[in-house]
């Protein structure tokens, strides 16, 4: 059997290497893109609203609602802070993965350049030249020397080609990891935005609640003043309840201010509302204030010992007669002269017209209702007694009768105060 020509055998590796150059270059022409995971839809935003009528709710209902909104606000604040932390971690991982992908791409580019260089050399000096040189050797020793040089060249090419394959695999792995990390960061950003939207909804609901509470507190302050002449103990209870509500509202406002720091384009502390006509937040003197019109004596009438506005005198008389026919003995108080309230405002709020008529009651010490805000000061509300005792519950027989019949005469109850009936329920 004839032995293979050694000059031909030594060329086999070089020829295979050259064939792989073209295949590797083609393989590196495109990179596999990572399959992007569809982002999760943002979490459904909770409907946040004040579910009770603040002006008519009982003190317990208001406390429960305030506590519920405040608790929800704090829970959503914790959720938003956690989402921000998750986003920060995800973004850091995405940045690191992107940097690793860029480095892998740079290495792949470097190996591609090396492969292209060998491809050019192979084109200029194809392997068959080396084969021809080996075949043209004058001796076996010369052929072996030329074969050895060709093998060295082939091994270098093989090393570069192996590095190219490793670089391509690493680049694809890093690109896939970077795409996954970017997708995770995108989902984290969406979750954070959803959490912030929920937080903003709760903050707005709380702000609306607080705005209405300020009105309620002022109305209650006026009711306390009107009730003192009829039932001092009940007036003290109402004042104590009003104080608890004011404290809860103050705490809620502080929490809302802390939450605002997490929300984009929100002030660190909520602004203090200034009523129309109030002084600007500067050191300049308050503008001239025209006192709101108050009920004059000529607008009043006294029926069955209760002074009220003339506009409701006839209706009140019919209601009284109907209640008497039903065997009920009504009594109570109606109109309250705002002069006493004006004196209190001067003592508690200040001497200027702004202090007396427009300064928010919560800014007075102690909080004091503005004159003319109470339905009693307009002669349009009555605090009823039943057989000489203030109507204190919805089980009182007079309240039951009034609940069934008063609307016929144009009077409506403030649900939180069984004794208080007015032309609009406030």
pLDDT in tens, 132-189: 555 565 666 766 665 666 666 677 777 777 877 888 888 888 888 888 888 888 888 8
Question: What pLDDT score does 153 carry?
Answer: 65
pLDDT at 321 over 90: yes
Flag whether 341 is in a domain: no
Residues 202 and 318 in one domain: no
Residues 322 and 226 in one domain: no
Residue 331's H or E segment, with its range, is strand 330-333
Q: The tokens 């001239």 sit on which residue? A: 288
| CATH code, domain with 382 | 3.30.1380.10
pTM above 0.75, yes or no: no
Question: What pLDDT score does 207 carry?
Answer: 76
Residues 220 and 306 in one domain: no
Flag whether 251 is in a domain: no
**Residue 327: which residues within 8 A CB-CB, separation 6 or more?**
none
Flag whether 401 is in a domain: yes
Question: What pLDDT score does 386 carry?
Answer: 94
Mean pLDDT of 277-285: 46
| Neighbour-count burial of 264, counting CB atoms closer than 10 A to its CB (0-12 exposed, 13-18 middle, 19+ buried) | exposed
Contact 48, 205 (CB under 8 A): yes
Mean pLDDT of 305-329: 95
Rounded to 5°, angle at Cα 58 from 53 and 62: 65
Beta bridge partners, 332, equal 384
Given 244, 260, 278, which residue is the final one in a domain?
244
Residues 10 and 153 in one domain: yes
Flag whether 86 is in a domain: yes
Flag whether 253 is in a domain: no
Residues 303 and 233 in one domain: no
pLDDT cut 90: percent of the chain above it: 18
Given 217, 244, 271, which residue is the final one in a domain?
244
Q: d(Cα 279, Cα 285) in Å, to the nearest integer?
A: 7
Flag whether 360 is in a domain: no
Residues 240 and 298 in one domain: no
Residues 151 and 77 in one domain: yes
Question: What pLDDT score does 105 carry?
Answer: 85
Domains of the chain: total: 2
Domain that holds residue 220: 6-29+49-244
What does the pLDDT look like over 50-106, one tens digit per residue? 346 776 677 677 777 777 777 787 788 788 888 888 888 888 888 988 898 888 888
Residues 19 and 95 in one domain: yes
Question: What pLDDT score does 288 carry?
Answer: 61
């Amino acid at each position: 059997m004839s032995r293979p020509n050694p000059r031909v055998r030594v060329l086999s590796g070089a020829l295979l290497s050259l064939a792989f150059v073209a295949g590797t270059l083609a393989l590196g022409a495109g990179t596999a893109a990572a399959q992007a995971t569809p982002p999760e839809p943002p979490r459904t935003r909770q409907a946040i609203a004040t579910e009770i009528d603040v002006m008519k709710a009982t003190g317990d209902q208001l406390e429960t609602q305030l506590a519920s909104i405040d608790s929800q606000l704090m829970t959503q604040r914790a959720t938003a802070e956690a989402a921000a932390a998750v986003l920060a971690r995800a973004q850091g991982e995405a940045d690191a993965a992107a940097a690793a992908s860029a480095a892998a791409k740079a290495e792949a580019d470097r190996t591609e350049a090396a492969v292209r260089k060998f491809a050019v050399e192979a084109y200029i000096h194809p392997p068959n030249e080396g084969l021809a040189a080996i075949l043209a050797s004058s001796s076996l020793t010369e052929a072996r020397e030329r074969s050895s040089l060709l093998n060295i060249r082939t091994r270098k090419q093989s090393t570069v080609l192996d590095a190219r394959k490793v670089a391509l695999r690493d680049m694809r792995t890093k690109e896939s990891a970077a795409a996954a990390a970017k997708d995770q960061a995108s989902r984290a950003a969406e979750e954070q935005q959803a959490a912030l939207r929920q937080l903003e909804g709760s903050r707005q609901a709380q702000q609306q609640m607080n705005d209405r509470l300020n009105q309620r507190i002022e109305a209650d302050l006026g009711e306390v003043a009107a009730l003192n002449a009829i039932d001092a103990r009940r007036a003290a209870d109402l004042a104590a309840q009003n104080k608890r509500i004011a404290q809860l509202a103050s705490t809620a406002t502080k929490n809302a201010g802390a939450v605002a720091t997490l929300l984009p384009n929100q002030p660190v502390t909520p602004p203090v509302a200034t009523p129309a006509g109030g002084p600007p937040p500067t050191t300049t003197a308050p503008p001239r204030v025209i006192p709101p019109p108050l009920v004059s004596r000529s607008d009043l009438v006294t029926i069955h010992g209760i002074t009220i506005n003339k506009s409701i005198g006839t209706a009140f008389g019919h209601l009284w007669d109907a209640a008497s026919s039903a065997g009920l003995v009504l009594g109570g108080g109606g109109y309250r002269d705002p002069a006493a309230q004006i004196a209190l405002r001067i003592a508690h709020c200040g001497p200027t017209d702004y202090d007396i008529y427009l300064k928010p009651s919560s800014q007075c010490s102690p909080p004091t209702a503005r004159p003319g805000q109470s339905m009693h000061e307009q002669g349009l509300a009555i605090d009823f007694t039943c057989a000489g005792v203030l109507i204190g519950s919805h089980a009182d027989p007079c309240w039951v009768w009034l609940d069934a019949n008063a609307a016929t005469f144009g009077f409506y109850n403030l649900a939180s105060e069984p004794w208080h009936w007015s032309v609009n329920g406030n």
